[in-house]
Structure 1
């Protein structure tokens, strides 16, 4: 029986629609994320994840079978491609149906591109219908994931939540309601967790503001069970001031930005540890007072684990369990070495509601100092006074001797200087007199100059002759 044209068209449309519905594509919201100082609008958070997530990976086109080719239908408004490449290879090149190409550093404004060491995340607005192709070192066994809706699911914080809790929280990236899994996705998506204070009067966190408390990783380290399984595990630091907060989780990269938030209260630590200092700090016996809030915790299931460290590499483990009273006293081992000690501990306990928790306790420091020396006796004091008096007398005699020595020395020096000065002065006077006498002799030995004979003009004829005068 021949198949009609309408039947073929219907089968084609159903096949195309099914292919698009099972591909993993991420929708990119047009609104950007709010800053950490201004928490985002509240978004619903999924229920707590109790068992490991085993959601199937999205079934999509296999790259090796289609030679990195895929088709986009005309009904697709936007899409995000998740491409897995060989480690540390260059970003892929996207070839459009009309033959034009897009690169990681050169593409239209409607395209957003995040390139990592193991893959690419590419968001395309209003993609051109038709066959597309990827050029690059795409892993042959990988799949080309095309997704139309993206969201994040975050496990909410339990209540009550206590200061210092060691807590494991998980989150996952969802594409079309399916958990996304891609090798190297941990490097392509940045997760941040914030505690934003609600500034309630009387709370310890009244002026805390926005606190970055950790992130989520899918690297198989710390609390994360397996790398690259699509389950991101937190490393949140709960040692923050107690009070009311908004819990904000953000997942972002160059392509997308998603946030969820919820309200919670961080309760004060229900266990208090205090080192009791003895009246004499040199005593070797020290005690620690343990106080447990039995209105929040079950005493029978509260177990302390301490480690006492001190001088000379001392490390002593201490275990306390089987509590029957809210206030208990722990006697520390006998301390021998003088110096500084540190007591560090954790508590494994159960809340009255039945939730198992582990708490970090604040570190405690104390010092064992040597005892003061005994007071001297009267005889010892007299001996010390005699020694001091003799020492003072010796110092006085030495001072007098030194004074006489310096007085005599200074006087002798002054006398010598005076004599030397007198001798120099006398020599200078004698030299001056000798020079004056020599100059006088030189002047006396010079010949007397003869007066010139007078001329006729100089003779006064009016004067009488000398012979006439004699007559």
Structure 2
């Protein structure tokens, strides 16, 4: 254990010495990768409603403050005219001052929204592919649609030129267009097409409060700054870092954000060293520190997932290019490495103490951690080359994600952040009945810009493989009408297209046609019947001889078969009902017989108390004469009833031909009927036994005190100013 601890301390010292050595090298070796960033800001009059507090100003000031020196940038504003607010050039202190002043002058006095001219002016020097190592990015912020004239035809022509002339030229030049729609009234289809076609980022926001955060993500996607990770609100600065910029978001009601140094000093917007630049805005604080002290720093303020610490360092974290847009099912290979100057760090002693991992974050979801390895296995190509790799696949479901790639060792921590969007299948198929209900409308649309629209090929089949055309009726829109004969059948689309990078994309879509098919609808509309005539899509069944009713040669029509089946079914039901009624009627008669027989054999209940049971007489007539006190009329009526009973049950063997009931036969019949009656008698509650003798019913006694049943509780019821002038 002691030897392991000593080895670990020795490795840490070696790593510290290497960092000190790299920190002593010239800073120009750590210049960020060349980036060309153009910014276009809408200043049309509608911004008074969509950005009433002019939050474009703090968002633009934040973007300018984050820009590292050495990249190339320019700023334009547009309404009817397009003005270059900050001349295109290399970012330095002078450029930042001019850009900050220009940001303060952003207004909302433009009369139109000339997106075409803004794109043309901002990219006029983008001719051909970008120089090696240079990335071209353009940020477009607008709240409206192409609006260049009072004539809608001129607006449509301008929009068409954007899509057919400017967009292909920018894409060919390697430009990536990031668009922000600051209103639901913005031309979302146009902006999505511009972004998706060039693998840029599209974002629609309903209020300007989130503009700063959107600008932050677009800045990270464009400039790819080095960062150190935050753990809570604390972060570590190492010897190799020459500058840092802290971005701390806070709610408007929190006016004070403080920064605590490793030495324990507490800085604020009002009290900080003169060498520190502190920009305090309504929603964020941005602090820039030259030569920050190594050690642990702390932001005393709101914990926010968008807080950042961006650094200038000789030890940089680099990654392979990450796309902004992917389709569901795509895998995302990720590689990362450390750079000292322009050289990949491959020292095994240094890398042995380093760890690389990727954190996949989504709003409202738990983060997913992916380790990166340099072991020559799976996604990694070569072991020990200093390039760490992984492959994202199974967790990439449709949605927006933040990808944070981290590298850390005992004395350093680095982080890079990117935003990616996973799109669902870029086609949408809908089937609806028309207003008259006689046809089915098939509509196919595609997500703007994700595929080369001119390459899309559609094959539609319905029913048993019958092919139908699905014509293109608009940009990214196909439509056709099918007769109701296809209701209930399956529509299958085979789609073939090319992605923007030229790779193929194939997918199948299927949907059932809504509605129930008519009984005599033809399978294929317009197909000839066996007489050579065109069968209608729907026709009422005909009984005329020779009519086309779907009859097969030598057989009955389907309609006749259905009718016969229904008739047979009704006949069976009638027969079953008749025999059921007959059985019920016989049972009813038997029940009456049993009841009267019981009355004959049981003691009378005319009195309140039951008489003791009597022995059965040897002769029925004598017993009746001796013990019965009934009148002669009552006896006569009873004898007459006995005669009727004998006739009703004349099919039983026990019935005598004279009409009198045999005593032994009657007892057997009574026992049988009592057994049947017992089957229909509800079972007594658990623990209760049925009485052997039927006793007179007693009236229930009133409950004693304290035994009163509780009542059942009822269920509850429920600025005006002049327009900007063109500037050359």
Measured against the shorter chain, the TM-score band is 0.3 to 0.5
| TM-score using structure 1 length | 0.36
| TM-score using structure 2 length | 0.25
Answer 1 or 2: which has greater helix percent: 2
By relative contact order (CA 8 Å, sep 6+), the higher-ranking structure is 1
Larger radius of gyration: 1
